[in-house]
Structure 1
Amino acid sequence: ADGPRFLLTHVEDIAERKQREMQLAHRASHDSLTGLPNSAELRSRLSSRLCQRAAHTGALEPVDAAFGHPAFDAAGHGFDYRPGGAEAYDAFDHHVHTVAPEGERDDGTKGLAVLFCDLDGFKSINDRFGHNAGDAVLIEVARRLSQCVRDGDTVARLGGDEFVILADGLGKADAADLAVRLRNEIIQPIRAEGRAVRVGASFGIGWAHCGMTADEVLKSADERMYVEKRSRPKQHRRAG
């Protein structure tokens, strides 16, 4: 009370540091060549939509977390069980199950479509014209895929010449139409290293639903893609 009063303030501009942190986080979750979400980010986005219980099963499978296993809340979302009633799972009871269309016909169900895309004839472009031409093709394919989907859909690059599109709220006919539109965009000539080249594209359509893991969903779409690829004549899968 009798002496001078001091206020010591330290101010530091951390904008540059935060920008570097954001750049590092982006590099960790996105493909360096195309700028698309990478395999890890794709699996993260897909997993966030899927709980551990199948949407069509009725039984819950709670397990005490003391044994190291997840329990499930009334909506089927995994949580670590703790005594104490509703507060133990309030954060999870608004989960909406991801469901998938069933059967061969479009039954009107809207779901999370997973389109697995593999480029046809891409290796021959690398072999004939070099990796710079191949990179140019991948960058242009990524751009075309991104332009053909809606805001909120995900276009990711798994690696090599494989891409995956996550598109929510689609029925079977919608997903098939989207695959046709994407293929028609991809097969248009691409300018690479001063020449026009073409690639084909094979699509497999899988459906995500609760009770599946992200890897199971991707494997299902991948298998459908190979069935589709084998069913098309070789001359329709050529590039150059």
Structure 2
Amino acid sequence: MTPDDVSRALFQHAPAGLFAMSTDGVIRAANDTFCDWTGSPQDDIVGRYFLSLLSRGSKLVFETRFMPLLQTRHPLNEMLLSLATRAGGTRDVLVSLVVDDSGADELIYAAVFDAGIRLKYERDLLDARRTAEAAVARVRIMQEAAAGLAPATTMAEFGSVLRVSAETATDATVSVIVAESDGRLELVSGSRPLAGSVDLADLLPVRECLENGRPVLCRSPADIAASFPTLAAGLDAEGVEALCLIPLTEDGAVSGAVACWFQRPRMLDANLLDLLAALATQAAPVLERIHLQRQIEHQSLHDALTGLPNRFAMQSRLEQLLAEAVLHDRTVALLFLDLDGFKAINDRFGHEAGDGVLRQVAERLTGIMRVGDLCSRFGGDEFVIACDGVDEESALEVSRRIWDAVCQPLHGVAHGSTVSASIGISVFRPGATQAATPDALIARADEAMLAAKRAGMGRDPLIRA
């Protein structure tokens, strides 16, 4: 094979597309590789304008950006263009051009390389970079959540940190919802849709998440309409087009949810769901700790037998009431109640029956109290009731209602038996009462109760102003 034969073979079968064209863009020669990439034979390629082989977008780019440079004899390297193939598809290529003016006619020589592998590599590299950035962002979100949750001591602090973390992760409106021990649901942070028309307990996505203990996902308005048809119109009116709820658990029991409300359809892919689940897992022990703190605080201020506030809670409440009474010039009444006949029932039926009597009396007292009044068990068979804004006459009326309630026949082991009450009252009136301390008010009411008990006055309480 002669050198000319080698040159021709190299031209025709080179791994890159090769062609020559005139300065006005007409192809004069093209190798087999270039023809194969376009899907057209040599006869169709030679004599055509190079522009006619490009996709619409590439034609515009070549005409406006590259042809002017060629007119200045400037070589062009690795232009990213798209060939339009005969089959109707496209092929991404990198084109390098150089102008040869050594002969009688100026020619432009072109080398064309398949850009598919390179573009795939660049896309893979970009995807890897995005994945790495997402991983870094996820770690940052988890670290910031951990740093915020660790010192949280209140439900408001807990909810705020968890909400901000979830909002950062999702770019959604987030609600943090906690189930209380009595079954009530509390929105501890954030806002929620349909707040003006649907109770939180009746918001179906929340109910489903809490009842099933599994994530609730709706990626589009169509998903919402299919899963929650009765709420679809309302959610749509508030701009909710996707939603995601992740349960919060304590010791395997569902204790709340993180609810994300999106203003546009979302893919809700596995990475996002894993991040939200990780936040929920990280938050769980903090929620358990806060619930335990609440329980301890409640126990320290409440009587274990009756559930009523105890002596310490009453003294704290009295301090508040007395301060407000001075500030707003209003009265405070304190009723000190001691059960009559309780010891006989305790001796006859036993301590368990006595405990039952105390619980019944506590229920009857709380049933007749006004909102804002505080009924406490002071110890043994003694109860203390604080009434805000109540004068002597009103306090006497309250005491009569208390006496009537206490004297009703008992249930349980002591069924049919009765107890009564000796009641003493003290009233604080700003400017008219000397001492304005909880201990002083309690002491005067206690003295009045003992005086009433000694006098055997039954229904008529004594007042020590």
Please, what TM-score do these two structures have when normalized by structure 1?
0.69
Does 2:269 match 1:40? Answer: no
- Alignment partner, residue 167 of structure 1: 387
Counterpart of 1:152 (choices 372, 380, 405) is 372
1:218/1:96 CA distance change after superposition, 3 Å = closer
- Alignment partner, residue 450 of structure 2: 226
Q: Distance in 1 between the 2:325 and 2:454 partners?
A: 36
- Alignment partner, residue 132 of structure 1: 352
C-alpha contact (below 8 Å) 1:117/1:203 kept by paired residues: yes
- Alignment partner, residue 104 of structure 1: none
- Alignment partner, residue 409 of structure 2: 189
1:133 Cα offset (Å): 0.4
- Alignment partner, residue 203 of structure 1: 423
1:123/1:194 CA distance change after superposition, 3 Å = closer
1:196/1:214 CA distance change after superposition, 3 Å = same
Q: Distance in 2 between the 1:171 and 1:48 partners?
A: 18
Please, what TM-score do these two structures have when normalized by structure 2?
0.37
Q: Which residue type is aligned with residue 177 of structure 1?
A: E
Q: Distance in 2 between the 1:132 and 1:192 partners?
A: 10
C-alpha contact (below 8 Å) 1:98/1:209 kept by paired residues: no
In terms of mean alpha carbon deviation, does 137-146 or 17-26 score higher? 17-26
- Alignment partner, residue 297 of structure 2: 25
Counterpart of 2:326 (choices 97, 102, 105) is 97
RMSD value over aligned CA atoms? 2.3
Q: Distance in 1 between the 2:319 and 2:423 partners?
A: 22
1:170 Cα offset (Å): 1.4
Q: Which residue type is aligned with residue 133 of structure 1?
A: A
1:152/1:142 CA distance change after superposition, 3 Å = same
SS, match of residue 33 in structure 1: coil
Does 2:343 match 1:123? Answer: yes
1:209 Cα offset (Å): 5.0
SS, match of residue 221 in structure 1: helix
- Alignment partner, residue 141 of structure 1: 361
1:212 Cα offset (Å): 2.1
1:98 Cα offset (Å): 6.4
Q: Distance in 2 between the 1:16 and 1:37 partners?
A: 24
1:24 Cα offset (Å): 1.0
1:32/1:184 CA distance change after superposition, 3 Å = same
% identical aligned pairs: 39
Deviations 1:135-179 (A, max 9, x none): 000000000000111011000000100000111111211110110
Rg larger in 1 or in 2?
2
Question: As a proportion of its length, which structure holds more strand?
Answer: 2
1:158/1:17 CA distance change after superposition, 3 Å = same
C-alpha contact (below 8 Å) 1:99/1:209 kept by paired residues: no
1:208 Cα offset (Å): 3.1
Q: Distance in 2 between the 1:231 and 1:194 partners?
A: 27
Counterpart of 2:439 (choices 194, 198, 215) is 215
Greater length-normalized contact order (CA 8 Å, ≥ 6 residues apart): 1
Q: Distance in 1 between the 2:320 and 2:366 partners?
A: 21
Aligned length: 181
Q: Distance in 2 between the 1:42 and 1:159 partners?
A: 12
- Alignment partner, residue 179 of structure 1: 399
SS, match of residue 189 in structure 1: coil
In terms of mean alpha carbon deviation, does 193-202 or 153-162 score higher? 193-202
